[in-house]
């Protein structure tokens, strides 16, 4: 199934016509210069709001590339069903391209595949590009898997119209790859981006493409109707795809093989991880820097109506040496800015389905001057690993332990009484009507405002592994658009409809205590190099 060193000598693949050159991310290749922060971020009807946002944007402009759009170009979806129906509708209407980045596509997602087939059959010039993770995408092979589900698309429509790529982490090679069980080897790094682009629109989310994410697994979903933002993330996916294995149909029982094309942008990570990282750095660093990122000027929104900045963030730590990723610096800057006295009456809401924020973020959250803050996380009964077989079944209790530690830290900090932790629960996983919770993000509301001006959405879980092992893509909204702020506020509130405050007293109850085996499991995972 996996062709390694010899695959580098395979026949050179003809790149799809829509693919752009990715080795041109140099300063001279910028299509235009964005307006300076002093001019663009201070305009708008609410000068007081603009003044409070300026300390954020002045530094963010130095961290990550951004585009200015109108707030009406962002649509906030609410439910898994709405996400799925929107995705299918846009696929059916696609004219030029569909590009999808996800951890995996569920091996039984025949309806989604049929929707893609319908679009490709109807539109002969339509092209499809899919990027998933190699470990997750082939885990069940030679039994049915994500890879075997997708390979027939290539057989039917040809490699000039359909490209399926699977990224393999450089952190799992040699003896480690050979001996670590498939069920837990994902702890060493994944392709975790969630980018769902169709023509000139893109859906950013934390949701993967499988039945639970389409029905009863709550996440977040933003639709960006911006040619510039869509093109940027398309270029990002194309770059990572050129650092990934190519899926090819095969008569073997698995139904596919993974090969490393000779025109990839780096050597295979399985052959020479160190060289792979060096070559990946040369390709990616320019794409994510605000100084060198290629930017288009495709949107036709009048300049005076551009009241919202969208910062494109990438966390590619496993591929960059030195690490110039932009997500962690961006989140850190936002939280650090909130520590200033003028933000004493601001507030924030932070959510992560798997509550294990990086220690630096916990410190920054508790160091803000904000009040009326909320953390939302999954109840053990809404955790995707609830009653899962093997070591992963211990994870809900492990996250309970981490949440309890956070509540204790809040109690011991200046945020005692101003910050609460809520657990989200809608029924019980595995029982009729039971949902899981997978949403992640940050909302920041300025002093004297009712709704957030800042919101972060994307694939990141904001954990240690997000900032060291996984590939993440996110967008940070900074807006003065009152209607968009209202919609972000509604999103922030409806996610709390099924959430309940959990206190130190609740965690002290017998049924919430965590056993020794959970603590040992956490130690083992960290010892051998993985992370929750």
- Show which residues are catalytic: 192, 194, 199
For residue 396, the number of C-alpha atoms closer than 13 Å in the C-beta half-sphere is: 21
> Which residues on adjacent β-strands are paired with residue 473?
314
Please give, one letter per residue, the 3-state secondary structure of 143-194.
CCCHHHHHHHHHHHHCCCCEEEEEECCCCCCHHHHHHCCCCCHHHHCCECCC
Q: State the DSSP H helix or E strand holding residue 478, giving kind and residue range, or none if neither.
A: strand 472-479
Please say whether the beta carbons of 478 and 56 come within 8 A. Answer: yes
| DSSP conformational letter for 19 | P
Reference 308, options 393, 222, 237, 379; nearest CA is 222
Question: The dihedral of CA 236, 198, 224, 165: what is its sign?
Answer: negative
> Which residues on adjacent β-strands are paired with residue 415?
none
Q: Is 98 left (phi over 0), alpha (psi -120 to 50) or beta?
A: beta
Q: Which residues of 264-288 are buried (b: 16+ CB within 10 A; e: fewer)?
A: bbbbbbbebbeebbebbbebbbbbb
Peptide bond into 142 cis (omega under 30): yes
Mapping DSSP to helix (H, G, I), strand (E, B) and coil, where does residue 444 land?
strand
H helix intervals, 110-145:
110-122, 134-137
What is d(CA 361, CA 347) in angstroms, rounded to the nearest whole number? 16
Count other C-beta atoms under 10 Å from residue 532's C-beta: 18
Count other C-beta atoms under 10 Å from residue 64's C-beta: 24
What is d(CA 499, CA 7) in angstroms, rounded to the nearest whole number? 50
Mapping DSSP to helix (H, G, I), strand (E, B) and coil, where does residue 82 land?
helix
Q: State the DSSP H helix or E strand holding residue 67, giving kind and residue range, or none if neither.
A: strand 66-69
């Amino acid at each position: 199934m996996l062709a390694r060193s010899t695959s580098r000598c395979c026949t050179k693949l003809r790149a799809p016509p829509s693919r752009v050159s990715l080795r041109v991310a140099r300063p001279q290749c910028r299509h235009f210069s964005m307006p300076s922060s002093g001019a663009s971020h201070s305009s708008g009807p609410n000068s007081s709001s603009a003044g409070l946002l300026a300390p954020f944007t002045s530094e963010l402009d130095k961290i990550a590339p951004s585009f200015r759009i109108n707030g009406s170009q962002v649509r906030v979806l609410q439910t898994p069903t709405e996400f799925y129906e929107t995705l299918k509708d846009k696929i059916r209407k696609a004219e030029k391209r569909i590009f999808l980045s996800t951890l995996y596509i569920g091996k039984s997602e025949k309806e989604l595949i049929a929707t893609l087939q319908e679009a490709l059959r109807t539109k002969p010039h339509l092209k499809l590009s899919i990027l998933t993770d190699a470990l997750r995408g082939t885990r069940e092979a030679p039994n049915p898997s994500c890879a075997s589900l997708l390979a027939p698309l290539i057989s039917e429509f040809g490699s000039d119209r359909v490209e399926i790529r699977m990224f393999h982490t450089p952190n799992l090679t040699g003896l480690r790859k050979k001996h670590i069980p498939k069920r837990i080897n994902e702890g060493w790094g994944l392709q975790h981006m969630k980018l769902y682009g169709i023509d000139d629109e893109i859906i950013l989310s934390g949701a993967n493409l499988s039945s639970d994410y389409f029905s009863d697994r709550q996440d977040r979903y933003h639709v960006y109707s911006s040619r510039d933002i869509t093109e940027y993330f398309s270029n990002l996916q194309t770059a990572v795809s050129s650092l990934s294995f190519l899926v090819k149909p095969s008569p073997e029982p698995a139904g596919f093989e993974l090969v490393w094309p000779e025109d990839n942008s780096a050597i295979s990570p399985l052959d020479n991880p160190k060289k792979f990282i060096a070559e990946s750095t040369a390709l990616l660093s320019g794409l994510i820097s605000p100084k060198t990122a290629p930017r288009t000027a495709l949107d036709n929104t009048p300049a005076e109506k551009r009241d919202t900045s969208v910062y494109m963030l990438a966390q590619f730590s496993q591929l960059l040496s030195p690490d110039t990723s932009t997500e962690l610096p961006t989140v850190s800057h936002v939280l650090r800015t909130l520590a200033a006295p003028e933000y004493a009456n601001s507030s924030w809401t932070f959510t992560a389905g798997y509550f294990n924020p990086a220690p630096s973020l916990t410190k920054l959250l508790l160091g803000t001057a904000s009040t009326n803050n909320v953390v939302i996380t999954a109840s053990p009964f809404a955790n995707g690993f609830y009653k899962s077989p093997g070591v992963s079944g211990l994870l809900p209790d492990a996250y309970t332990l981490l949440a309890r530690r956070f509540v204790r830290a809040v109690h011991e900090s200046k945020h005692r009484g101003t910050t609460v932790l809520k657990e989200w629960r809608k029924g019980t996983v595995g029982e009729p009507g039971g949902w899981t919770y997978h949403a992640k993000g940050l909302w920041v509301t300025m002093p004297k405002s009712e709704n957030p001006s800042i919101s972060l959405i994307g694939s990141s879980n904001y954990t240690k592994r997000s900032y060291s092992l996984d590939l993440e893509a996110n967008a940070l909204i900074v807006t003065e658009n009152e209607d968009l702020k209202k919609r972000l506020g509604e999103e922030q509130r409806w996610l709390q409809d099924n959430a309940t405050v959990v206190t130190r007293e609740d965690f002290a109850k017998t049924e919430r205590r965590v056993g020794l085996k959970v603590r040992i499991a956490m130690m083992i995972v960290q010892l051998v190099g993985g992370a929750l």
